[in-house]
Chains A and B, each alone.
Chain A
């Protein structure tokens, strides 16, 4: 008899079709044109970018479409030091919550353009857009955020948006 088998491959594969929905379709169409669209809750007036359909706090549909700027403030961040399969960034790199100017909730994205240990809360950043011809209808239309050169934002300016 040949050698005992020690292990087997048992991959799990779940093949879905993801549907973006009406608001996210608008968001993805706009991001290809270099624009960032959110929606405002009619009740609490918060602007969500990307739009979520309903306001998760008030439970009502977000109606008004709002364009926000591609500059913002790092609220919180993490430094990724752990390699994993399929990783495209060189370690260590920073994944941060970026509060866009005009938005009320931060969105997660990469921060590049400075050493990982230089990233800080309040850092002012600007979107680095992928070249227009290569811009996908996804958050990867923005390659990452990088320092804008402005002075750091004060904690009070984003403390209500953490």
Chain B
């Protein structure tokens, strides 16, 4: 039950009404290691039998269905494979100022990670641009430990 407050004497009543589900989920051994890596300021992928490195890691090779092998550390730098500009961020999104959603292919990885690029303006965004991860100072083992990616000079 919720409380109504009048907007004006003759108008209909309205009230904020928030539905909230306080879910927790278990992440499994593979993502569990990936998140522990983020907490340590490192980005881990997983190697398939064919030698591809999946970042973020998956529990099975999406092409063959085979179990994956060892976790592999990749670079915290990479390039933007594709992107879309978010000009009006919504509550709860990674950044409060305009940013780019981006698929970032890190150096050493064969797949791309969906994250955000803090570029300031869409004019600074380009497919193939170089970016570097910015980590939070206080990390807890969640994807939010990675604040965003930032543009860096070509070749960096």
Q: Give chain A's interface residues, CB within 8 Å of chain B.
A: 1-22, 24-25, 28-29, 85, 136-140
Given A9-B23, A16-B19, A137 and B33 contact (CB-CB distance below 8 Å): no
Contact, CB under 8 Å: B35 / A137:
no
Binding stretch for chain A, among B10-18, B97-105, B109-117, B121-129: B10-18
In the assembled complex, B69 has its CB within 8 A of some CB on chain A = no
Contact, CB under 8 Å: A14 / B27:
no
- Among A4, A20, A22, A139, which residue has its beta carbon within 8 angstroms of that of B14? A20
Given A137-B3, A138-B3, A140-B1, A8 and B35 contact (CB-CB distance below 8 Å): yes
Sample 10 A-B pairs with CB under 8 A, ordered by A number. Answer: A1-B33, A9-B22, A9-B24, A10-B23, A12-B21, A13-B20, A16-B16, A16-B17, A25-B13, A137-B3
Contact, CB under 8 Å: B32 / A6:
yes
Most buried by A among B15, B33, B37, B92: B15
Nearest to A15 among chain B residues (CB) is B18
A66–B54 Cα distance when bound, in Å, is: 67
- Chain A residues, CB < 8 A from B12: 19-22, 24-25
Q: How distant is A14 from chain B, measured CB to nearest CB, in Å?
A: 4
Q: Give chain B's interface residues, CB within 8 Å of chain A.
A: 1-6, 11-27, 29, 31-33, 35-37, 39-40, 91-92, 141-142
Contact, CB under 8 Å: A18 / B14:
yes
- Chain A residues, CB < 8 A from B40: 1-2
- Chain A residues, CB < 8 A from B4: 18, 20, 25, 28, 136-138
- Chain B residues, CB < 8 A from A19: 12-14
A40–B92 Cα distance when bound, in Å, is: 45
- Chain A residues, CB < 8 A from B92: 13
Nearest to A9 among chain B residues (CB) is B24
Q: How distant is A15 from chain B, measured CB to nearest CB, in Å?
A: 5
- Chain A residues, CB < 8 A from B20: 11-14
- Chain A residues, CB < 8 A from B2: 18, 138
Nearest to A13 among chain B residues (CB) is B20
